[in-house]
């Protein structure tokens, strides 16, 4: 399974940082309370995950490696 909580905390750190980064790239961000729930629920809505990945790519100049966020049993076993 994909570890969304680890992804959020290690790449962004907080809801405030996500909102700030989206805003810096002129992307209309959801309210901070909504983004905080992503951390609480350990999940990013499907519509927002690609947006976050694109913003990270723009920020770092290359795609973000996601393999480190896969947990054991990810192959269905």
Give domain status of residue 75, yes or no: no
The rounded distance, in Å, linking the Cα atoms of 32 and 11 is: 17
Give the per-residue pLDDT at 72: 72
Structural domain tally of the chain? Answer: 1
Give domain status of residue 14, yes or no: yes
Buried b (16+ CB within 10 A) or exposed e, 13-24: eebeebbebbee
Give the per-residue pLDDT at 75: 53
Domain carrying residue 45: 4-69
Dihedral sign of CA atoms 46, 69, 15, 62 in order: negative
pTM summary value: 0.86
| Residues belonging to the chain | 77
Give the per-residue pLDDT at 77: 45
Mean pLDDT on 49-69: 95
């Amino acid at each position: 399974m994909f570890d969304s909580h680890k992804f959020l905390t290690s790449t962004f750190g907080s809801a405030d940082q996500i909102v700030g980064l989206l805003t810096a790239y002129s992307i209309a961000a959801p309210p901070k309370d909504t983004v905080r729930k992503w951390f609480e629920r350990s999940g990013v809505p499907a519509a927002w995950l690609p947006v976050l990945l694109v913003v990270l790519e723009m920020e770092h100049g290359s795609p973000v490696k996601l393999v480190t966020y896969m947990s054991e049993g990810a192959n269905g076993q």
